[in-house]
Copies of this chain bind each other. A is one copy, B any other.
């Protein structure tokens, strides 16, 4: 009476399945992928897949749960400290590590949009969506407020609204990117424009 396979093996397997799932979701989107797609991509049987995940929803949540993790780990103050300025910290939240506008977009973003929009009438998913929104919005607002206290920002508008504004705009870019493609929307230029608006709206010193 002992575990049949090692814990590491199980985790490996799980990760392998998650990776296959990610590829499939990126390729087909959330609604259009089936468990069979994932099975095939991972080279595993029906039973093998269901051993680890109860259904597509479970699988997808596991996937986007892991990504979320990374962001939470680092505490906010430490992050601001590390970035050197509140402005840089702010840019980091929506531009990523490079802090530079690019034409690149999280390849899983379209599926996430699908997942939350399609599930907007489901209590569970809606709660989840709210959590994510509140988290993103919360981080942004906190950085802005800290920046004000540090004398780095002297905003012309309500920080609360500015924070929400950033989130909504980033979501908008994700949508348009998903629907018509990055080549059609001038993603980079639009992002640069957002930055200019923010610089003015926050009245960034320095």
A residues sitting closer than 8 Å to B (CB atoms) are 28-29, 31-32, 110, 113-114, 116-118, 120-121, 126, 129-130, 133, 156-158, 160-162, 164-165, 167-176, 178-180, 184-186, 189-190, 192-194, 196-197, 200-201
- A107-B185 Cα distance, complex, nearest whole Å: 25
- A91-B144 Cα distance, complex, nearest whole Å: 29
Which residue of B has the minimal Cβ distance to A157?
A: B193
Known A117-B114, A133-B180: A189·B171 in contact at CB below 8 Å: no
Q: Once the chains bind, are B121 and A184 in contact (CB under 8 Å)?
A: no
Write the nearest CB–CB distance from A164 to chain B, whole angstroms. Answer: 6
Chain copies in complex = 2
Q: Which of B118, B157, B179, B201 contacts A31 (CB 8 A)?
A: B118
Q: Once the chains bind, are A184 and B32 in contact (CB under 8 Å)?
A: no
Known A190-B161, A201-B197: A171·B176 in contact at CB below 8 Å: yes
Q: Which of B32, B114, B180, B196 contacts A114 (CB 8 A)?
A: B114
Report B-chain residues with C-beta under 8 Å of the C-beta of A32: 118, 121
Write the nearest CB–CB distance from A15 to chain B, whole angstroms. Answer: 26
Q: Which of B156, B160, B189 contacts A158 (CB 8 A)?
A: B189
- A176-B185 Cα distance, complex, nearest whole Å: 20
Q: Once the chains bind, are A121 and B160 in contact (CB under 8 Å)?
A: no
Q: Which of B31, B164, B176, B197 contacts A167 (CB 8 A)?
A: B176
Write the nearest CB–CB distance from A78 to chain B, whole angstroms. Answer: 28
- A196-B126 Cα distance, complex, nearest whole Å: 31
Q: Once the chains bind, are B190 and A117 in contact (CB under 8 Å)?
A: no
Q: Once the chains bind, are A179 and B118 in contact (CB under 8 Å)?
A: no
